[in-house]
Chains A and B, each alone.
Chain A
């Protein structure tokens, strides 16, 4: 066993670091993720990586992956976090892409994978419905076969960034009489199809990142169904496990710890000394760092398993729970760090916007509130614990 990088891995790290340094768009440096990024901002780095062939490192090489080892992928994520790049969104690269190359026909692979890799096509995830959240398999959106089309009716919700999406992958019920999981199909829907309406939902931080999606007699060609009819649940489960692994966000959290430290250096603590020297604050920061180290080591173990050819299993639930708890604690500590400047919310003034207090303070509260989502989405943390209880502990 060895936790050190080999000389080749160090050379690789230097290579990707230099590539990021030279190619990451200057105007996007330091743009905090949550600040309302435009569609172009979200896609800029993705498109550059697409040209380089680095937009989907985890994919098999034959479909456009990089062929990197798990360690190299880990280094890649670290370096991107370090440079605070805006990463490719997960919906194409980490979610529907793997479903398509795993379950799709050759034609489907040819048709959809290139747009995912290049960043030309924006994907959104149409799983959840108002009545089907944790109990996803109870979804009601109906797809009725008519010749070589499905006619889709229903409502999806919480569709992240659906307002920008070109395409969406949807779970729809094709057999209402079968057992819940057995009557679902996985459909790819062009968001410009007649009958698709996207309505934004305002979140408690004032932002708009999720949407209701209404499907009203939407015509979907049968060749946009992935895998067999009524076998969509297989794709869905496969995808959920992938989604969870990525959700731990270790590299980003490490970067955010550094950000937090910089804030704590700039802030004055209660006793007049820099906050970073405050014993109560130090204790919380120290505990957070230790828990993050533990999560990182656990993630590396899971990665090593994957490298050995065992796909992500129920352990990914552990990464999701611990990863999101750490993300949330980080937002909590950042909120504490900025003191009473957590309160101003000039964003509410719209065009008269001005910064109040230090420039790092403005986002602290909105991010804290917004990030409560992390223990809810991707399968809530209660559901993850249920999975571990059942699948790992056999309870």
Chain B
């Protein structure tokens, strides 16, 4: 067993956290959120720091790292509440290409992602699909050599910044059939693609995306036709592992900030940190953060195992981190008293972020059900 990060991974963490401390502090972040294109500058920095290239193959401009590298970056994103669409681009978009793209697709897009010139958003969820990855009504009908796409995608994270969309669409079968789903990579400016962009409550950006008779060539297909669900499951598992690491970063910050606040806030002539009921709650926050880190790490490491092991570990992490981050968020706000519910304090923003991570690609109930369906730990023995 070895729990050490490599030198490269430590270097990535250090350079990212140093940059964030200087260029992405709370006020700069706030200003960036209010601006239309401040994110572009940040994205260019991510390219410079090698964050975008980190998990990509060396032959396509990457640094040849993997999921651990992503988890390191994601945790730092969590700590600094960085909202740029890193996971959609590097884990979901690049992931699909890495595992199933043609040589030409990889060459064109992975290099561009590594260099910071391509942002991809995953247009997967639909207005009525909730988190079911197999529930796909958007259609892609064969048309000569290519396809024609029609349908609506919901809450597509990162779509406002993206130039390309990875789209799940039905090429065969009924709305919830596992078979008959295909993935397409579509330029956002393709004719017939339109979006309604909006901020999310935690400061990221998303869109409702509409496809109206969007014609794409056969070369837009990523992987084979009709059989994309296992690939979707895989990249979404990888994204969820990364989101779990991001949540861990948020939880650690909430725990730290709350401890600092409790040590300085005085009521009844003493620091509120002296009240034992609050001490125990802060201890629980600390323990929750540690447990969450363990679960995120476990999920990340198991991404490379069998489909079933991978899925179980990721769902297990989503379940425990969903619950624990809710506890930590609520406790952090509570211990801050009235200050905790203000926009001015950072804790509330971390609380919003972890809450929205729970609502991304399946919440606690969704993953508990999935975990049980996969046989839990018992059947694996």
Contacts and interface: CB of A to CB of B under 8 A. Distances in A.
Interface of A: 128, 131, 133-135, 138, 157-158, 201-206, 210, 267-272, 278, 280-281, 332, 335-336, 339-346, 348-349, 354, 356-357, 365-366, 368-370, 372-373, 375-377, 380-382, 385
Contacts of A271: 369
Contacts, number: 147
B325 to A, nearest CB: 13
B343 A356 contact: no
A22 B342 CA distance: 40
Given A203-B341, A268-B128, A380-B334, 12 more contacts: A138-B267, A157-B338, A202-B343, A270-B132, A270-B365, A336-B363, A342-B355, A354-B196, A357-B155, A372-B340, A376-B333, A376-B341
Interface stretch (B70-78, B140-148, B197-205): B197-205
Interface of B: 125, 127-132, 135, 154-155, 157, 176, 196, 198-202, 204, 206, 208, 266-269, 272, 275, 277-278, 326, 330, 333-334, 337-338, 340-344, 348-349, 351-352, 355-356, 359-360, 363, 365-366, 368-369
B365 A343 contact: no
A280 B198 CA distance: 31
A133 B341 contact: no
Given A341-B155, A376-B334, A370 B341 contact: yes
Nearest to A342: B359
A365 B341 contact: no
A278 B202 CA distance: 28
A143 B185 CA distance: 69
Contacts of B341: 203-204, 369-370, 372-373, 376
B69 to A, nearest CB: 27
A340 B154 contact: yes
A327 to B, nearest CB: 13
B198 A270 contact: no
B315 to A, nearest CB: 12
B206 A128 contact: no
A344 B130 contact: no
A382 B128 CA distance: 41
Contacts of A269: 130
B199 to A, nearest CB: 4
B155 A344 contact: yes
26 contacts: A133-B267, A135-B267, A204-B342, A204-B343, A204-B349, A205-B201, A267-B130, A268-B128, A270-B132, A272-B135, A272-B176, A340-B130, A341-B154, A343-B201, A343-B204, A344-B198, A344-B201, A356-B198, A366-B201, A372-B340, A372-B341, A376-B333, A376-B337, A376-B341, A377-B338, A382-B278
A267 B129 CA distance: 10
A271 B337 CA distance: 39
